[in-house]
Chains A and B, each alone.
Chain A
Amino acid sequence: MRESVDVLIEKYKNNLFVIAFNICKNMQDSEDVVQDTFIQYISLKKDFETEQHIRAWLIRVAINKAKNKNMTFFRRNIVPLEEYMETLTFESHESSELFETVMKLPEKFRIVIHLFYYEDYSVKEISDILRISESNVKVRLSRGRMLLKNTLKEVWEDDK
């Protein structure tokens, strides 16, 4: 199946942006990543099995592009994370603290945590998207949670 790119943009642009931001940590690069991801979608002749397949593909491509972005020789004048955070309106101090703490996690924990807590993916699905083993996902998830708990204390519950 193929889904209209207009529909996909409206449906997933923000999710892909947040995922890219989790890796790039700046707005401009993250927007470039989302744009490149949709362009890759329209350039690809591939048929997808389901819409979930398209969503997972978009996320995987965005993650890869964001990682590549971080490796490029030329970077934009990056707005520091703290400065960008000042433009965001958090619902509570806890939300702001959680956001900041997540952004300070090592990248490999951050992206797994994000796919689990924000995109509602299972360990198996995350392992398919990132092409790493399920046990690796579990380890990253567990270490990421531990780091969040250490900093956030009571704001972050113990969960499995």
Chain B
Amino acid sequence: MTNKEKYKQAFSTMHISDEFSVEVKKMITTNKKPKLNRLVASIAAFVLIVGSATMAYATDFCGIQRTLQLWIHGEQTNATIQFDGNGNYDLNYIDDEGNSKHQGGGGVAFDVFGNERPLTEEELMEQMAAPDVVYEEDGSVWVYWFNQKIDITDKFENNICYVKLENGDKTLYMTVRYENGYSTSPHKYIIP
């Protein structure tokens, strides 16, 4: 037996769990992307997002649907959003290439006593207006915030990048950990 054959025999014993395909296909058919990582990274320290995007997708959205304008990837975009009152949202919009986009997310907060509560609509909206970090397949990295699009590809040192964002009288100091979320503060850079 050659080394390749031995190697393949040793590793072919591993298999992903049977439930995997079902779970992923469920996510794909709902055509929703997880938004939770961004929420985790940018929300205040006492707030913790739990569960998974899948949970949010499975939720019945029976709240009132409303139309609003959101900045998505630097473009002001008309979107419809629905909150379910349990800390989840469901967002639909048409992107600049005419593709129908659908995403959902949500989260909970913990108070100082450790009690859990769903995020309010205001808190969720605040998170949706937070900066977005996009890693393109060509290796470039971009920060989107309102109408701004900033290339931060070459600004990483030891996987950390510091960016100062300004929009009108609002300033955000942003610390981005490469492909691992970010944090912001209106006062100073948060040291990872």
B-contacting residues of A (Cβ < 8 Å)? 5-6, 9-10, 13-14, 17-18, 21, 27, 30-31, 34-35, 38-39, 42-46, 57, 64-65, 68, 71-72, 88-92, 94-96, 98-99, 102, 113-114, 117-118, 120, 155-157, 159
**Can you offer 26 A-B residue contacts whose CB atoms are under 8 A?**
A6-B28, A13-B20, A14-B14, A17-B14, A30-B16, A31-B20, A34-B16, A34-B20, A39-B28, A39-B33, A42-B31, A43-B33, A45-B97, A64-B179, A71-B180, A72-B180, A90-B10, A91-B9, A95-B9, A102-B11, A114-B11, A117-B4, A118-B7, A156-B3, A157-B3, A159-B2
In this complex, what residue of A is CB-closest to B178? A68
A-contacting residues of B (Cβ < 8 Å)? 2-4, 6-11, 13-17, 20-21, 23-25, 27-28, 31, 33-34, 97, 99, 137, 159, 178-180
In the complex, what distance in Å separates the CA atom of A114 from the CA atom of B159?
A: 26
List, in ascending order, chain A residues with CB within 8 A of B180's CB: 68, 71-72
In this complex, what residue of B is CB-closest to A145? B3
User: Which residue, of B6, B9, B11, B34, has the highest number of chain A Cβ atoms within 10 A?
Assistant: B11
Instruction: Using known A-B contacts A31-B20, A35-B24, A157-B2, determine if residue A89 contacts B13 with beta carbons closer than 8 Å.
Output: yes
In the complex, what distance in Å separates the CA atom of A18 from the CA atom of B9?
A: 13
Q: Which listed residue, B10, B28, B99, touches A5 by the CB 8 Å rule?
A: B28
Nearest CB of chain B from residue A29's CB, rounded to whole Å: 12
In the complex, what distance in Å separates the CA atom of A156 from the CA atom of B31?
A: 46
In the complex, what distance in Å separates the CA atom of A160 from the CA atom of B110?
A: 57
List, in ascending order, chain A residues with CB within 8 A of B3's CB: 117, 156-157, 159
In the complex, what distance in Å separates the CA atom of A96 from the CA atom of B178?
A: 36
List, in ascending order, chain B residues with CB within 8 A of A71's CB: 159, 180
Instruction: Using known A-B contacts A31-B20, A118-B7, determine if residue A68 contacts B179 with beta carbons closer than 8 Å.
Output: yes
| Ranked 8 nearest A-B pairs via Cβ | A117-B7, A95-B10, A17-B16, A98-B10, A99-B10, A68-B179, A88-B13, A18-B14
List, in ascending order, chain B residues with CB within 8 A of A88's CB: 13-14
Q: Which listed residue, A42, A64, A114, A155, touches B6 by the CB 8 Å rule?
A: A155
On whether the beta carbons of A91 and B21 are closer than 8 Å, the reply is: no
List, in ascending order, chain A residues with CB within 8 A of B16's CB: 13-14, 17, 30-31, 34
Q: Which listed residue, A38, A45, A98, touches B28 by the CB 8 Å rule?
A: A38
List, in ascending order, chain B residues with CB within 8 A of A95's CB: 6, 9-10, 13
